[in-house]
Amino acid sequence: MVPADVVGDVNELTLETRVNGEVRQHASVADLYFDIPTLINYVTGFTKLNPGDVIVTGTPGGVGLFWGE
């Protein structure tokens, strides 16, 4: 985890997960159904966020579609 000012434009970030070194997911954060500010706005509508909290969103649509095939 890093401070927001180190990240820059979150829409330029890439999500990549691997299992035993094999890439299983590779997608742009820009492909999320809801953008990051919208997700934060939604979550803070029913809970207070504190420094270090993590919002788990899932992954951009379709990246896990063929997992395990």
What are the residue boundaries of the structural domains of the chain, listed by start?
4-43
Question: Which pLDDT score is estimated for 24?
Answer: 80
Question: Which pLDDT score is estimated for 47?
Answer: 96
Beta strand extents in the chain (DSSP E only) = 14-19, 22-28
Question: Which pLDDT score is estimated for 65?
Answer: 57
Question: Which pLDDT score is estimated for 11?
Answer: 87
Regions in the chain scoring below 50 on pLDDT: none
Reported as half-sphere exposure (CB side, CA atoms, 13 A), residue 61 has a value of 5
- pTM score > 0.75 for this model? no
Cα–Cα distance, 15 to 12 (Å, whole number): 10
Question: Which pLDDT score is estimated for 43?
Answer: 96
Cα–Cα distance, 43 to 57 (Å, whole number): 11
Question: Which pLDDT score is estimated for 41?
Answer: 96
